[in-house]
Amino acid sequence: MMNIAVKTPTITATQSYSLVIRDIFFEAVKRMPFFEGFTARKSKFFQIQPEHIPYLGIYIIGEEMVPDGDANAGNIGFIHTLRLGFSVVIQNNDPEFSELKLDEAFWTIMNGLWTDQYICNMLDTQSYGHPGIDNPDNVRFEGIPRASRRHLYGNNSSTNETPFCELQYDVSVTYRTDFVPVIIDDLEHIHIDVVPMAKDGTVPPADKVERVDVEYDLTAEPPTEP
């Protein structure tokens, strides 16, 4: 009996590459020693309360898509520019010390992400022997065309207490997708009937002119058991 391997569904069968990239960055930053003890979240839906500080958030802000090449030629393909927002919130009364910590958080993210040999590998992101740090389904991106950061300072809006400062780091991530047509009506059989035409352009009856029939069977042969 021949054993047929069943392919296990992968995350990119149901989720976009943008969400996978966000999760890759989130897990990588959360593992960095600087962010040990931080409350880490991936959704801006949750409000940040004083008990959640220090806080790390990485969100999908938006996404732009333009055609990859001529829009009316070939398969449908896109060049994606995914905008991700990094938010680092800490609590401190000293503005100068706060700025130092925000800058340290920024530099930790920069050096932790953009030097990663697996996350930023354009060919193969698999670590082969280091589970937990592979990009799921070998998802890759091409580059970071733009980024920006700013520091915000303030107090808790409801109590005017809990002085906090926030690093906002926005990153644009570029990658490509290609959507190849799924052909479900395969050409499996061709029948050709060859007959000379009459002078008036009509097809002579079968008892008058000999016909040539040609059959082409294009169905694939099932694999033979070795």
Look up the domain containing 154 and give its range. Answer: 15-179
Q: Is residue 2 part of a domain?
A: no
Q: Is residue 43 part of a domain?
A: yes
Q: Is residue 194 part of a domain?
A: no
Q: Of 57-66, 126-135, 210-219, which range is least confident?
A: 126-135
Q: Is residue 108 part of a domain?
A: yes
Confidence (pTM)? 0.74
- The residue-averaged pLDDT of 114-129 equals 79
Q: What is the pLDDT of residue 198?
A: 79
**Number of domains within the chain:** 1
Q: Is residue 185 part of a domain?
A: no
Q: Is residue 60 part of a domain?
A: yes
Q: What is the pLDDT of residue 53?
A: 86
**CATH number assigned to the domain comprising residue 57:** 3.30.70.1700
Q: What is the pLDDT of residue 13?
A: 85
Query: How many other β-carbons are positioned within 10 Å of the β-carbon of residue 11?
Result: 14
Q: What Cα–Cα distance (Å) separates residue 221 from each residue in 18, 189, 200?
A: 40, 13, 44
Q: Is residue 190 part of a domain?
A: no
Question: Residue 125 pLDDT > 60, yes or no?
Answer: yes
Q: What is the pLDDT of residue 189?
A: 81
Q: In terms of pLDDT, which residue wins out, 220 or 156? A: 220
Q: Is residue 216 part of a domain?
A: no
Q: What is the pLDDT of residue 87?
A: 94
Q: In terms of pLDDT, which residue wins out, 194 or 110? A: 110
Cβ atoms of residues 202 and 178 within 8 Å: no
Q: What is the pLDDT of residue 4?
A: 44
- At residue 3 the predicted structure's pLDDT band, cuts being 50, 70 and 90, is very low
Three-state DSSP at 147 gives strand
